Structure 1
Amino acid sequence: MAKKLARKELVDMVPYQSARRLYASSGAMQGKIWLNANEASGPGTYQVNSDSINRYPDFQPESLINAYSQYCALAPENILATRGADEGIELIIRTFCRAYQDSILICPPTYGMYAISAENHGADTITVPLTKELSLDIDGLKTQVGQAKVVFLCSPGNPTGNLLSQQEIKTTLEMFADSAIVVVDEAYIEFSPEQSVSTWLDKYPHLVILRTLSKAFALAGLRCGFTLANKDVITMLSKVIAPYPISAPVADIASVSLAKSGLEQMRIRVQETEILRAQLTLWLQQQSWCSQVFSSDANFVLFRCKNKAIKDFIFNSLAEQGILIRDQSKQQNLADCLRISIGSERELSLLQQTIINSFTTTTAQAVAQEN
């Protein structure tokens, strides 16, 4: 019955395969080392105030908006709090793309939810792949001016980890100035804060920036993100968002994370992550089965194995020991690539030792000699 009544294009649609959804079977969540979702390795400590839990929350909790306003140095009118950055993606597409008429533009390899959200809404997706150097194909983008209503850029990129140059972003903004909203996804910007384009909002009224507390702030389970934009854009997005998008407990915890002590903890966490990322990068570069390690400005490392057999062997060997990483080999130009989130020092040590032990087997030696 459901298939009969559902929109035709949704019947065969494959939903986004999140890290948890991939392992959603009974008992699959227990005893795992999760290095596949770019989460922080440990939570902070927060107290929840339940005094007003019987009341609906404010549409945009003032304490939260003011806290993020101070953090990002923008006026409250330029900020919309959302249920993670993912809701921001959906709101932008629903607001600016007419179903079955308009298109978004993405630059793969990139975050999968842009295309999924567009498909959910009935919008087409235009692809202009990144170059082999993972920079924007400016000439390719020029051919799509007037064709796309929303352009999604991700910097630092996911799953690549690299930053787009500010000149590339500026060129894209100027190119689409009269025809499209240009979204810069800064979910990982706390790892390269000096590369944010948030100060450009006054100059480019069609610029929209996505942020989240899920990564550097270690609050992935909270589901709290922010959309930063010109006041007129925020007004339009506010027309399609749910009436109570941010629950009171979420607002309370998020506000605390943005206070002075919370920001200090976040910055310490970023420093620790950068040290572990550098150590993991060096270790990968020293492995004979690894042909490329991508430069990263995020909380993960993407690397390429010498062939598919080795890639599959490493992925499966880790999974058998309950260590979960992300296979990115189906992404454009990422054949034989795996991504490791920067977990704790202990988790990364276990990952390395598990790989080393796995390659001592006869099977592994045979795999390593292929191709």
Structure 2
Amino acid sequence: MNKLVKSLMNDNLIPLKPYESARRLFSGGQDWLNANESPYASDYQIDSENFNRYPSCQPTAVVESYARYAGVHTDQVLVTRGADEGIELLIRTFCTPGKSNVLICPPTYGMYAISAETCDVGVRQVPLNDDFSLDVDGICAQQDVNLLFICSPNNPTGTRVAAADIERVLSHFADSALVVVDEAYIEFDDGDAWAARLDEFDNLVILRTLSKAFGLAGLRCGFTLASGDIIRSLMKVIAPYPIPEPVAQIAAQALSDEGVTRVNVQVKKLNLLRNTLQEELAQRAGITLVGDITANFVLFHFADCEALMAFLVENGMLIRNQSKQHNLQNCLRATVGNEDQNARLLSLIDQFIEQKGVSA
């Protein structure tokens, strides 16, 4: 880093490392099973007639469609550039740099901490219990936090957070902090959704996305669901034109009755494929399943995970090493792909186990 850049950069940014996204970690691969993307792509129609005009800040068709899909009021919906922008907007709106704190429960999604750190906001940590349940007593013992991030289903453990635990946290922080429930994977575990309870808890915020079950990761379209007061506050800091016109058009089509029906069919198929992949992995020597499977990935432990990971990468099969996460030493996470991708992953694992002579 040259002297000028270092002298001008915010002090809190100098020690930070950027989030290691799937595309940053690897520049190429034959099978991408490391970013929890859907293996299914759909066709959409684009009308370019208004591309010469700035888009709407909050496209009506998208807001109305998602409100109908989630079962909430339109004034409880904010469309964002992926759920990641929702995380950043919440921190920028409800935290004061150098003074406020957020709370996270590792192992969990890395962008909560990174977004806070880039805004010079403190990060408190209350790790999940050994069974990956919330340490509710530890959370409620925390003071001076503005936002709490709870991922359910949790990435990367694939575990559902018990409703009673979230209720207790919401009640405890009712007058002091917002509780953000990240439901990026909720379509794979729709019986646990919190949108219907927005009117019950004024401090409840929900993050959603079209990146996972809807198969639109390349679109970068997410949603923040919350009370009208919270949404109006977020509107103070959101960019003037956050949703490009092509994104709005595709999102509205994806949220049509036809689009939602298609997603429901794909989710059912992926859940079956996920269950099969889990069962197959469990039969491999040296592999121990970790967490649960309420999302579109499987987490597993393998003692020589670094060597296995290198072998898979060498053969164009990309999954995600989670060993740096709290309490996940030697753990790998594999996204559920289509039948051929899952079969190839298992075949490569078999080849590695045979070469290394791994025993049960």
Q: How does 1:1-371 map to 2 (within 5 A)?
A: 1-23=4-26, 28-29=27-28, 31-144=29-142, 146-305=143-302, 307=303, 310-361=304-355, 364-365=356-357, 368=358
- Structure 1 residue 32: deviation in Å? 2.2
Amino acid at match of 1:47: Q
CA shift digits 1:167-214 (9 cap, x unpaired): 111011001111101000000000111211111111111110000000
Looking at structure 2, the residues matched to 242 and 136 of structure 1 have their Cα atoms a distance apart, in angstroms, of 34
Looking at structure 1, the residues matched to 132 and 291 of structure 2 have their Cα atoms a distance apart, in angstroms, of 10
CA shift digits 1:107-140 (9 cap, x unpaired): 0000000000000000000000010111111110
Amino acid at match of 2:65: A
Looking at structure 1, the residues matched to 157 and 43 of structure 2 have their Cα atoms a distance apart, in angstroms, of 31
Amino acid at match of 1:342: V
Looking at structure 1, the residues matched to 136 and 49 of structure 2 have their Cα atoms a distance apart, in angstroms, of 53
Stretches of structure 1 lacking an aligned partner (at least 5 in a row)? none
CA shift digits 1:215-266 (9 cap, x unpaired): 0000000000000000000000000000001111100000000001101110
Between stretches 1-10 and 117-126, larger displacement belongs to: 1-10
Which runs of at least 4 in structure 1 moved beyond 6 Å after TM superposition? Answer: none
Looking at structure 2, the residues matched to 291 and 215 of structure 1 have their Cα atoms a distance apart, in angstroms, of 25
Amino acid at match of 2:23: R
CA shift digits 1:56-82 (9 cap, x unpaired): 011101011111111111111000000
SS in structure 2 of the partner of residue 134 of structure 1: coil
CA shift digits 1:266-295 (9 cap, x unpaired): 011101111110111101111121133431
Contact 2:285 2:353 in 1 (8 A): no
Contact 1:285 1:293 in 2 (8 A): no
SS in structure 1 of the partner of residue 109 of structure 2: coil
Looking at structure 1, the residues matched to 118 and 286 of structure 2 have their Cα atoms a distance apart, in angstroms, of 39
Amino acid at match of 2:346: Q
Task: Indicate the RMSD between aligned Cα atoms, in angstroms.
Answer: 1.2
Looking at structure 2, the residues matched to 81 and 58 of structure 1 have their Cα atoms a distance apart, in angstroms, of 11
What is the TM-score when the length of structure 2 is the normalising length? Answer: 0.97
State the identity as a percent: 47
Stretches of structure 2 lacking an aligned partner (at least 5 in a row)? none
Looking at structure 2, the residues matched to 236 and 87 of structure 1 have their Cα atoms a distance apart, in angstroms, of 14
Amino acid at match of 1:18: S
Amino acid at match of 1:360: E
SS in structure 2 of the partner of residue 226 of structure 1: strand
Looking at structure 2, the residues matched to 42 and 207 of structure 1 have their Cα atoms a distance apart, in angstroms, of 32
What is the TM-score when the length of structure 1 is the normalising length? Answer: 0.94
- Structure 1 residue 369: deviation in Å? 6.6
How many pairs were matched up? Answer: 357
Looking at structure 1, the residues matched to 97 and 192 of structure 2 have their Cα atoms a distance apart, in angstroms, of 34
SS in structure 2 of the partner of residue 59 of structure 1: coil
CA shift digits 1:16-49 (9 cap, x unpaired): 00000112xxxx33x5210000000121101111
Amino acid at match of 1:339: R
Amino acid at match of 2:48: S
